[in-house]
Structure 1
Amino acid sequence: MELTERLLKLTDTYCAARGVSDATVSGIIFKNSRTIPRIRRGGDVTTRNYSRAVGWFSQHWPDDYAWPPAIERTPAGEVQA
Structure 2
Amino acid sequence: MELTQRLLKLTDCYCAARSISDATVSGIIFKNSRTIPRIRSGGDITTRNYSRAVEWFASNWPDDCAWPRAVERTPAQEATR
CA displacement, residues 2-59 of structure 1 (integer Å, 9 cap, x when unaligned): 0000000000000000000000000000000000000000000110000000000000
More helix by share: 2
2:18 alignment partner in structure 1 = 18
For 2:73 and 2:23, the matched residues in 1 are separated by 22
SS of equivalent residue, structure 2 residue 58: helix
Q: How much identity, in percent, do the aligned residues show?
A: 81
The residue type paired with residue 26 of structure 2 is S
Q: How many residues in Structure 1 have an aligned counterpart in Structure 2?
A: 77
1:52 alignment partner in structure 2 = 52
The residue type paired with residue 60 of structure 2 is H
1:28 alignment partner in structure 2 = 28
For 1:61 and 1:73, the matched residues in 2 are separated by 12
TM-score normalized by the length of structure 2: 0.91
Across the aligned residues of Structure 1 and Structure 2, the Cα RMSD in angstroms comes to: 0.9
For 1:34 and 1:57, the matched residues in 2 are separated by 18
1:40 alignment partner in structure 2 = 40
SS of equivalent residue, structure 1 residue 11: helix
For 1:72 and 1:47, the matched residues in 2 are separated by 15
TM-score normalized by the length of structure 1: 0.91
Structure showing greater relative contact order (alpha-carbon pairs closer than 8 Å, 6 or more residues apart): 2
SS of equivalent residue, structure 1 residue 32: coil
